[in-house]
Amino acid sequence: MYLSVVDNEATEKYLRIASISIALYDYIITLPAEWRFYRSQSSIFRLRLACVLFILIRYGSVVVMILSNYGVFSTSFTQETCQHYYMVAPIFKVIQTMISQVILGVRTFNIARRDRRIGIALVLLYFVSVSLEWFTNMFDRTPVVVNGNCTPGNVGKTLTAWFYYIAVMLYDLVVLTISTVYLLRYNPLSSRLERLVRVLIYDGIGYFVVLTGSNIFNIILYHTSDIETQAAGASMGFAVTWIMSQRILIHLRELSEAETLRLDNVVVVRSAQNARDVASTLRSPLDSKSHINNYPDFPLASSGIVHTDDMELDICVCIEPSVTLDHTNERGLSSSWGEPDGKMNLGAVHC
């Protein structure tokens, strides 16, 4: 004997209507953000990765919610017709999750400064997670027809569908832990870069907390509900994954758009050790072999025009070669070149 969280078909439909309402509301209020995404692209044939992922998660989620809820609210299914339809929603469910996990993976890879070892680990983790998700979500499913609707049920001595949510939560936990650790290591020398790091941390934590709550709710449903109402929380999970994934992209895009309107100066200070350092700095301050890579706390580890829009932050940073260097020689005498403030300034224009 167990306590059923969702004890009848009407309760399941109320949950699904609530999820549809939340998703529709979020879709409407994010239409301006969607337009700004499209407007920021250089060409319709050269969409940036952030925009492509935004389109995939947004409209892939619309498709999975329509397919899933059509099977529940329809009254015309028979056992024979349901046999051809009941696996459609689970298939698109995994596809939506795959897109969401790509967003998290690419985000983490860029936050980790595109470290090769981190990249390989993320790819391996992604394929292991996806394999488990496909298997646990598709294995031992059966069509369930009640009053003309059609839903996928999980029967047998051992329920496997709920393991899908375990795999998802483990992937989210590992990936977001990696990104958060790297973000906490950053020592931004600009208030705006500090704000950027703070937004990334909050978005990651918010994503994990909300999606984990939704996944735990679905696990409870699978263990406490009968076969007819096992998938009552699926639509809510679709809506939450959609909203939180696209929010990550929207927040980064909005932050990038705000930065284009202002000039930000990132100050890096390093004492010159000898005359060779002075000559090298003045001769080629923005050369690919210049000393900018010698500053581990400097968040931009490349020269010239830095494109981080491969989803990382969708921000382009232009480095201006304005150099002021204060050098103290062995005799304790100070001499400076450039501006008299005794610092080397790299003017970062977000463009």
Q: What is the mean pLDDT of the chain?
A: 76
In angstroms, the Cα distances linking 36 to 79, 142, 153 are 46, 43, 41
Contact 151, 228 (CB under 8 A): yes
Whether the model pTM is above 0.85: no
Q: Is the pLDDT of residue 311 over 80?
A: no
* pLDDT (tens digit per residue) in 152-187: 887 755 567 778 999 999 999 999 999 999 998 887
* pLDDT (tens digit per residue) in 182-223: 998 887 776 777 878 888 888 899 999 999 999 998 888 877
Contact 284, 173 (CB under 8 A): no
Of the candidates 88, 84, 82, which has an alpha carbon nearest to the alpha carbon of residue 67? 88
SS3 60: helix
Q: Is the pLDDT of residue 330 over 60?
A: no
- β-pairing, 334-337 vs 325-328, is antiparallel
Q: Residue 303, CB half-sphere, CA atoms under 13 Å: how many?
A: 13
Q: Is the pLDDT of residue 296 over 50?
A: no
pLDDT confidence of residue 258? 66
In angstroms, the Cα distances linking 122 to 107, 242, 312 are 11, 22, 15
Report the distance separating Cα 71 and Cα 144, nearest Å. 10
Average pLDDT over residues 240-252: 92
Q: Which residue has the tokens 């939450």?
A: 240
Q: Which residue has the tokens 């609530």?
A: 18
Contact 77, 149 (CB under 8 A): yes
* pLDDT (tens digit per residue) in 62-118: 999 999 999 889 888 998 999 999 899 999 999 999 999 999 999 999 999 899 999
Q: Is the pLDDT of residue 56 over 70?
A: yes
Report the distance separating Cα 165 and Cα 231, nearest Å. 12
Report the distance separating Cα 303 and Cα 291, nearest Å. 10
Question: Quick one: DSSP state of residue 21?
Answer: H
